[in-house]
Structure 1
Amino acid sequence: MSVPASVPNLKRSLRRFDIMAISVAAVISFDVIGQIASGGGQAVTWIAVIAVAFLLPYALIFAETGAAFPQEGGPYVWVEVAFGRLAAALTTLFYWVTNPVWLGGSLVFVAAEAWDGFVFPLGSGTVADYAFKLVFIWAAILTAVVSLRRGKWITTTGAGAKVLALAFFTGTAVAYGVQHGFQGLSGAGFAPSGAGFLALVPVLLFAFVGFEAPNAAGDEMLDAQHDVPVAIGVSGAIATCCYLLPVLAILSVAPGGQVTGVGGFMDAARLVFGIYGGWRDPLLTFVAVLFAVALLTQGSAWMIVADRMQAMAAADGGFFTRGLGAFHPRLGTPVRMNLVSGVTATAFMVAAMHLASGDTSSVFGVVLSVAITTLLLSYLAVIPSLLVLRLRHRSVPRPYQVPFGTRGFTVAVVLVYAWILLGSWVALFPGTLEELFGIPYDFRATWSVSRLAFETFTLGTVVLLLAVAAAGYMTQRMRTQPQDDERETGPAR
């Protein structure tokens, strides 16, 4: 078995705690907590179901594969070894582009909303609004540019800020409930329904994927073969608690029907922080700053890992020019790809600002759906590649193995893949399964835009990405002479 050539001059600096912190910073999505809570009480039910039926098998198969194949590039390497360079190039582009799209079209909007409401007024579409969003995007990119030895502490700080803010909010909500009663729970409606399931499944899958992301920096880990499985297990448990408890807390105190996707967390905080009296506003400001910092470092954590994957694809001859795959000799980071991500995020932010005439809620929902779609589509190749590696490369040492061997691994892959297929379809074509099963669905009321506008934006994005990926691959193939097309290879570690 051969893998893409190793990147020279990389420094091994990621310990088990660092891997776990990057996972927590990347996976726990502040911006989707309100979106999940808007599903009502059954959101709690479906979080529990997906944590068991999806997250558990997902964590098992990625823990085994991440420990057995710890090369730099992570999922790019796995798909390349399993299905070839073209499939890996297409997959990696979808995986990578999710992050500048998400950073520029979702995270920055939620951060601006919180900053405008609780720290400093920005307005909508103003110079201050644009300035905040530009600073936010490029601060996230800058933290990905610095060496991982230093940058990991930025993501660790973000992970800590995220857990601190969620824990403080949850504790405050409990105190508020004790004082005023948990009135929201009585009408929350925890009984699951088909409509609630189809509305929540894409965003819940999006919330729980990404624990394999630190493997993109596999050659920068000190002991990937032993640290990856433990880090995935611990961060998976933390993520489940950080979604389940705050959503339950929001539902327990927020008046029915008033939880929104873009403002759910901070709106609920505004309500429950009333128990602090005169300290309410300063504490809200403090939590809003933590909120924005956590969102920024969440974006930077994904930039750190996704840019490495796309750089490895470029260096391997799968994306326009190998120059985009260059790692800075001193920083050890793919600076050129970082800059491409920054430009892409900025362009998407500007496009999103004009998507729904400044309606932040509409922009947030549609752009989040685009990010969910592109990320879930990338797993359509990543997940089966894990099974191919399991079956074709049995001789590769596996420090951790899924229970029941190949049979258990296969069952877990099939289960995870079924969830990914369902989530991808619902994200790309919302309302179609509801129509099939006779479930009422008002598209405009749900998305605040017409189906034509929604599908033009989402399907247009997917088609554009496929065209860019194909053009990038073919451009590199045509410019490379046959005698130079053989890449350097190294033994699997």
Structure 2
Amino acid sequence: MPAVRRLTRRDITLFTISAILTIDGLAAAAAIGIQSLTWWLLSFLCFAIPYALISVELGTCRPSRGGIVHWVKQAFGPRWAARTSWLYWINVALWMPAVFIMMTGVFAQLFWPDMPLSVQIILALVATWVAVAICCLSLDTGKWVPNIGACCKILIVLLLGIGGVITALLDGIANEITLTTLMPQWDEGLQFFPVIIFSMVGFDLVCCAGDEMEDPRRDLPVSMMAAGVIITVLYLFAVFGMLVALPVDEIGLISGLLATLERLFAPLPGSDWLIILLGLLALFSFVSNIVTWSLGSNRAAAEAAHDGELPAVFGIEHPRHGTPLGASLLTGVVSSAAIILYGFMAGSAEQLYWGLFSFASLILLLPYLLLFPAYRVLKKQDGHNPDGWQLPDNPWLVRLVTVLPLLFTAQAAVFFVLPPGRFDIPHTLSTLLGLVIVIGIGEWVCRNEASPAKEVLGECAVD
């Protein structure tokens, strides 16, 4: 039975903003220093713009229920689609603990500064299963979490930027901005460069619900471009605000966001209540970000299961809402196990956060090493499609929009394993071991190719 078309142009725009605009990585990105502003701009030009254009073209010319999984399957076959769906799904299950550890850290700053790590782990487990429950609701209900979360994040980021501008005019800035400090440097700060690329991934996510859009070929181009412009301005604005407020060496991975807000708004009357309000909005935005990604990745995994590329348990649907119940519950199980396992090994909340965040982000980037080559293959197959939005069929333009984001993605993946400016043998070896384990489990899970007798992951009917 075809899905009910629930997602309007507004929903697609807010969903995309909610997916891409993350505040949990702002502190890590700002920790690069003033040069991060230049890296943001370069990444927007060379990664985000071509990636968004590719997502719009594939989403309108090949609207599907599986998004990136469907496109990789059409380009490279079911085996690679199975690998893609596994990586796409498992990264969210591994990233969820990092976000909720960040969330509990912000909660501790607001209400319980001496909260033990064990209590933070318990709160993160509770948040995990709240997010799972939301993902099991109907999309009519669940979509409001990303929509409201997008508004919360926009407000927080705007206040970071506005506060930074006002502080710069009245009190000066904490980090000197000159041509020298803006110049990209190959130093230890670039260990956080992959966070910038990670923070711009998500333009393709809403395409996993291509059959639930009112009119993807009309709405996707407008929504993606609007979301891209808004996200670009807001990220630069927020990082600028953080660099104005705090010296780079004082920007903590977890404490940086709230510390910036406290520094910017402390002079205002009633600032204590304002900080608490903004902190509560930040807490909700963490939940909304995870829900947004889970809504997309769980649907992609369920469709892969229906096609026989993942175990059938991923394809179990909620009996009333038709949502991917099996994939959602498995996300909760993996996330809970990761929180507990890493919690035993970590000595602090920040160490726990960065260990989970960096590894999950590395896993997230791997499917995009397939997406960009897949686009080039499909571009050759398609020719001109009058029903979809397409880039001009110019060989040099196609190479450019394919190669640039592919190189930036590969660079970010390498930096997660081998951070620039230092060689941390335990970090590199543990990351590589984890990568081998995740890929090995994925090969075992995806060992059976799709049976021709089963339903294939098809394109959506377009009105």
Corresponding pairs, count: 460
Counterpart of 1:30?
A: 23
* Pairing 1:187-202 to 2, within 5 Å after superposition: 189-195=181-187, 198-202=190-194
2:405 alignment counterpart:
416
Amino acid of the residue matched to residue 336 of structure 2?
Answer: T
* Alignment pair present for 1:428 and 2:437: no
Q: Is 1:21 the counterpart of 2:14 in the alignment?
A: yes
Return the offset for 1:162.
0.7
Alpha-carbon contact 2:27-2:257 (below 8 Å) kept: yes
User: Is the 1:9–1:329 Cα contact (8 Å) retained in structure 2?
Assistant: no
TM-score (norm 2): 0.93
**Which letter maps to 2:370?**
A
Does the aligned pair in 2 maintain the 1:113–1:263 contact within 8 Å? yes
Instruction: Note if contact 1:138-1:342 (Cα within 8 Å) is conserved in structure 2.
Output: yes
Report deviation, 1:329: 4.6
Offset at residue 169 of structure 1 (A)? 2.7
User: By how many angstroms is 1:161 displaced?
Assistant: 0.6
Task: Mark the CA change 1:405 to 1:231 in structure 2 (over 3 Å): closer, same or farther.
Answer: farther
Deviates more, 1:405-414 or 1:304-313: 405-414
Q: Is the 8 A contact 1:115 1:122 kept in 2?
A: no
Cα RMSD, aligned residues only: 2.2
Kindly indicate whether residue 10 of structure 2 is the aligned counterpart of residue 47 of structure 1.
no
1:461 aligns with 2:453: no
Gap regions ≥5 residues in structure 1: 1-7, 432-440, 444-449
Q: Give the structure 2 partner of residue 361 of structure 1.
A: 350
Distance 1:490 1:397 in 2: 20
Matches within 5 A, 1:109-148: 109-121=101-113, 123-126=115-118, 128-148=119-139
Is residue 442 of structure 1 aligned with residue 410 of structure 2? Answer: no
Against the structure 1 CA distance between its residues 370 and 256, is the aligned structure 2 distance closer, same or farther, given a 3 Å change threshold? closer
- Greater Cα shift, 32-41 or 265-274: 265-274
**Could you tell me how far 1:430 is from its partner in structure 2?**
2.5
Which residue in the other structure is 2:289 paired with?
Answer: 298
Q: Does the 8 A contact of 1:352 with 1:363 survive in 2?
A: yes
2:52 corresponds in structure 1 to 59
Aligned counterparts of 1:218 and 1:329: Cα–Cα separation in 2: 21
Q: Which residue of 2 aligns with 1:4?
A: none
Distance 1:276 1:374 in 2: 42
* Structure 1 residues 198 and 38, CA gap change in structure 2 (3 angstroms): closer
2:341 to 333, 343, 351: 351
The one of 381, 384, 408 aligned to 1:392: 381
Contact (CA 8 Å) 1:119, 1:288: kept in 2 or not? no
The residue that corresponds to 1:216 in the other structure is: 208
Compared CA separation, residues 282 and 384, structure 1 to 2 (3 A): same
2:322 aligned residue (302, 321, 332): 332
- 2:218 counterpart of 1:205: no
CA distance in 2, matches of 1:148, 1:324: 18
5+ long unaligned stretches in structure 2: none
Partner Cα separation in structure 2 for residue 490 and residue 131 of structure 1: 41
Could you tell me which residue of structure 2 aligns to residue 264 of structure 1?
256
Check conservation: 2:306, 2:455, Cα contact below 8 A: no
Alpha-carbon deviation of 1:265?
1.5
Relative to structure 1, the CA distance from residue 186 to residue 408 in structure 2 (aligned partners, 3 Å threshold; closer, same or farther) is closer
Identical residues among aligned pairs (%)? 26
**Contact (CA 8 Å) 1:25, 1:301: kept in 2 or not?**
yes
- Residue type of the partner of 1:146? L
Q: Name the structure 1 match of 2:239.
A: 247
**Deviations 1:344-365 (Å, cap 9, x if unpaired)?**
11111112212322x1222222
Amino acid at match of 2:373: P
Q: Is the 8 A contact 2:104 2:120 kept in 1?
A: yes
Tell me the secondary structure at the aligned position of residue 187 of structure 2: helix
8 Å contact kept, 2:40–2:236: yes
The worse-fitting range, judged by mean Cα deviation, of 256-265 and 140-149 is: 256-265
Alpha-carbon contact 1:148-1:332 (below 8 Å) kept: no
C-alpha contact (below 8 Å) 2:32/2:190 kept by paired residues: no
> Quick check: 1:227 aligned with 2:219?
yes
**Deviation digits for residues 387-418 of structure 1, max 9, x if unmatched?**
11111232654521114545422321122212
Match of 1:470 among 436, 439, 443: 443
Alpha-carbon separation, structure 2, partners of 1:81 and 1:142 = 33
1:471 to partner: Cα distance: 1.4
Contact 1:42/1:190 (<8 A) preserved: yes
1:179 and 1:201 mapped to 2: Cα distance?
A: 30
Change over 3 Å in CA distance of 1:186–1:393 after alignment to 2: closer
- After superposition, give the CA deviation of every residue in 1:287-322 in whole Å (9 maximum; x if it has no partner): 11111100110000000000111111111111122x
SS of 2:268's partner is helix
Correspondence for 2:311: 320
Q: What is the alpha-carbon distance in structure 1 between the residues aligned to residue 21 and residue 149 of structure 2? A: 11
Superposition TM-score, scaled by structure 1 size: 0.88
C-alpha distance 307-80 of structure 1, shift in aligned 2 (>3 A): same
State the partner residue of 1:434.
none
Q: Do residues 185 (structure 1) and 173 (structure 2) align?
A: no
What whole-Å deviation, never above 9, does each CA across 1:404-437 have from its counterpart, x for those lacking one?
5454223211222122222222222334xxxxxx
